[in-house]
Amino acid sequence: MIILQNNLAKVVFYKKTGLFDISFDDVVFKQSDFLKNYTVQNACQKDDNTICFDLISDNVIYKTAFSLKDEYAQISLFSDDKMTNVAYPQPFGTQKGDLGVYPIGEGYVYPVDKQDLVYKPMRKMYGDISMGFWGFLRNDAYLLCVVENIEDAHLHTVRCDDGNLTSYVSWINEKGCLGYKRNMRFYFGKGSISKMCHTYRKYREEKEKLITFDERAKLNPNLNKFKGAANVWLWNDGGLESLYLKDAKVRAITDEILNERRKIAREMKDMGIDRVMWNDFEKSNKDTIEYIKSLGYIVGSYDIYQDVIPKDVLHLMTPVRKDRCKHIEAWPNDMIVDNDGSMHKAWYLTGIDGNKYDQNSLCDMCAIKYATKKIPDDIEENGYTARFVDTTMAAELMECYNPKHPMTRRDCMRYRKILLRFIRDMGVICGTECAMEEGVNSFDYNEGNMSPSYYRAPDAGRNMTTLYYGDNVPERISQYMLNAKYRAPLWELIYHDCVVSYWYWGDSQMCCPEYTQKRDLINALYGTPPLYSINVTQWHNMKEEIAKSYKRATKVAYLTCGKKMVSFEYITDDFLVQKTTFENGISVIANFKDEEYEDFDGTIIKSNDYIVLGE
pLDDT in tens, 4-52: 999 999 999 999 999 999 999 999 999 999 999 999 999 999 999 999 9
Confidence tier at 605 by pLDDT (50, 70, 90)? very high
Q: Pairing state of beta strands 230-235 and 531-535? A: parallel
Instruction: Round the average pLDDT of the chain to a whole number and report it.
Output: 97
Residue 116 lies in a domain: yes
Are 276 and 360 a contacting pair, CB within 8 Å? no
CA triplet 437, 439, 444: central angle to 5 degrees? 100
* pLDDT greater than 90 at residue 99: yes
CA distance 382 to 541: 30
- Which residues does 437 contact at the CB level (< 8 Å), separation at least 6? 130, 131, 132, 204, 494, 495
CA distance 400 to 444: 28
* pLDDT greater than 90 at residue 244: no
Percent of residues, the chain, with pLDDT higher than 90: 97
Local structure of residue 435 (DSSP, 8 states): -
Q: What is the pLDDT of residue 245?
A: 85
Residue 228 lies in a domain: no
pLDDT digits (tens, 9 = 90+) for 520-534: 999 999 999 999 999
Average pLDDT over residues 88-106: 98
* pLDDT greater than 90 at residue 56: yes
* pLDDT greater than 90 at residue 380: yes
User: What DSSP assignment string belongs to 365-386?
Assistant: HHHHHHHHHHHHHHHHHH--SE
- Residue 62 lies in domain: 2-207
Residue 267 lies in a domain: no
Residue 32 lies in a domain: yes
pLDDT digits (tens, 9 = 90+) for 461-473: 999 999 999 999 9
Residue 602 lies in a domain: no
Residue 435 lies in a domain: no
Residue 109 lies in a domain: yes
- Model pTM? 0.98
CA distance 394 to 157: 20
Confidence tier at 181 by pLDDT (50, 70, 90)? very high
Q: What is the pLDDT of residue 246?
A: 81
Q: Omega into 458 within 30° of 0, i.e. cis? A: no
* pLDDT greater than 90 at residue 249: no
Q: What is the pLDDT of residue 247?
A: 81
Confidence tier at 166 by pLDDT (50, 70, 90)? very high
Output the domain CATH number for residue 179.
Answer: 2.70.98.30
Residue 471 lies in a domain: no
Confidence tier at 151 by pLDDT (50, 70, 90)? very high
**Where on the phi/psi map is residue 18: left (φ > 0), alpha (ψ -120 to 50), or beta?**
left
* pLDDT greater than 90 at residue 251: no
Range of weakest confidence among 87-96, 321-330, 361-370, 564-573: 321-330
Q: Which of 306, 451, 510 is nearest to 389 (CA)?
A: 306
Number of domains in the chain: 1
Enumerate the β-bridge partners of residue 356: 350
